[in-house]
């Protein structure tokens, strides 16, 4: 499945979690899926925990996160120590 089709699985509904990105309009935030992955859960264990969730939904969360991080810019904080 291409990235555009995966990203279509990520939606925003201002009535759910204050408009945070969610998976297919359900009450599961992208950040929650990413947090489970970061904690060491496997995509398979996440899918097993949420019967309606599909492996492609987990992949969509990763694609979404990569897109968001890909647009971030970090500006270094420069301190003048020549004084």
Task: Report pLDDT digits (tens) over 30-80.
Answer: 999 999 999 999 999 999 999 999 999 999 999 999 999 887 677 778 887
CA distance 74 to 77: 9
Range 3-70 has CATH code 1.10.10.10 = yes
φ, ψ for residue 11, nearest 5 deg: -125, 170
pTM (two decimals) = 0.83
Using the Cα atoms of residue 58, residue 64, residue 65 and residue 66 in order, give the sign of their dihedral: positive
Domain limits of the chain? 3-70
Give the pLDDT confidence of 5-23 residue by residue, as tens digits: 999 999 999 999 999 999 9
């Amino acid at each position: 499945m291409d990235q555009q089709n995966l990203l279509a699985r990520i939606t925003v509904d201002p009535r759910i979690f204050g408009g945070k990105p969610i998976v297919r309009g359900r009450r599961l935030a992208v950040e929650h899926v990413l947090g489970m992955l970061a904690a060491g859960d496997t995509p398979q264990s996440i899918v097993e925990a949420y019967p309606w969730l599909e492996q492609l939904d987990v992949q969509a969360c990763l694609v979404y996160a990569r897109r968001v991080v890909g647009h971030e810019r970090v500006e270094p904080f420069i301190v003048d120590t020549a004084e």
